[in-house]
Amino acid sequence: MALLAVDLAWPGRLWPATLLSNVRHLLVPLFAALAIDAAVRRRPRRAVAAAAGVLLGAVTAAPWFRSPPAPPAAAASGVDLRIVTINLGDRVADGTLAARELLGLDADVVVMQEVGAHHRAAMEAPLRDAFPHQAWRPLGLSGKAVLSRHPIDQERWSEFPARVTIQEVRVLPETPGAVPLRIVNVKLSAMAAWTGLGSAGFDALEEFAVDAAEGEVRVVAGDLNTSPWGAVVRRLEALGLRSSYSIAGRGPGHTFPVLGRYHRLPIPPSVRIDYVLVGAGARPVAAAVGPDLGGDHLPMTATLRVGP
């Protein structure tokens, strides 16, 4: 409880507290189980302490379970573009199944992490008609790819410590009235995400997140390996990026882990670590957790209204 209090008072300052903040919503059932156990064993002091933990966890985690208010009415002008981000889990997801499911999501841009050569071999050709513009970096755990219905005219690939790689592309929507999207495709390592501010991986992402040219919309999409309470997400929001799901989604939006897929653990999706974060120039009008694509993550989908 002390670490949770530290993270509430000084977010991102102490990495053990930052780590705890990622599972804050799980503290209620944990402390409840401890309280019941203490009561059964007739240990009143331990039961009272655990009950206090239940109360603190319930108060701090309440926003996680409360659906956000309906977003303000989006401007009538602008173009709706759907972004899908998915971590394929390197050797976990079957590329053939993932390609088939992606075709049903009606996406304009698909942003993928942990992409291997086997994924490219299974997905590139079947998805070519739907996504004629493709940028592949099939390197396994650090691999990435962006598939787009609209032209990709720039790509930048960067590698950083802590096994962090960032793929940045510029997408030029062909729909009249839309503006270019500068998309940052990222997967933070658990170490970079949990240690929070000051880690090499996060510092690299922060640089990309604020580097947007005038007349472009900045989008950061991918697996941040941290919950909405984590220091990384809070810092990106402080820089002006907004979580599409926090604005336009409903419910907790858990994307990880898929039951039985992550090291075969029997744990259902219990935390949101996949995001579509958007900067100025676009408004999220819809967001949802997508269907199972065969990996250990569920996809996050976001519809952005882009335009003047």
pLDDT tens string 44-95: 888 888 788 777 666 656 555 554 444 445 455 689 999 999 999 998 999 9
For residue 80, how far is the Cα from the chain centroid? 20
The dihedral built from the CA positions of residue 297, 158, 125 and 104, taken in this order, carries a sign that is positive
Whole-number Cα distances in Å, 123 to 72, 101, 134, 192: 38, 11, 11, 30
Say which range, 20-24, 35-39, 190-194, has the weakest mean pLDDT: 20-24
CA distance 108 to 131: 8
Strands 144-148 and 152-160, by their bridges, are unpaired
Q: If you count them, how many residues does the chain have? A: 308
pLDDT at position 200: 62
Check pLDDT > 80 for residue 226. Answer: yes
| Mean of pLDDT values over 256-262 | 92
| Mean of pLDDT values over 161-189 | 89
Say which range, 57-66, 186-195, 196-205, 253-262, has the weakest mean pLDDT: 57-66
222 or 307, greater pLDDT: 222
Coil, helix or strand at residue 120: helix
pLDDT at position 137: 97
CATH of domain 79-306: 3.60.10.10
Q: Which two tokens stand for residue 97?
A: 């199944």
- Domain regions of the chain by residue span: 2-65, 79-306
Task: Please write the tens of the pLDDT for every residue from 123-144.
Answer: 999 999 999 999 999 999 999 9
pLDDT at position 15: 47
DSSP state of 252: -
Q: Which two tokens stand for residue 84?
A: 């899908």
Check pLDDT > 60 for residue 197. Answer: no
Q: How many other β-carbons are positioned within 10 Å of the β-carbon of residue 290?
A: 20
Whole-number Cα distances in Å, 111 to 13, 80, 202, 262: 31, 17, 19, 21
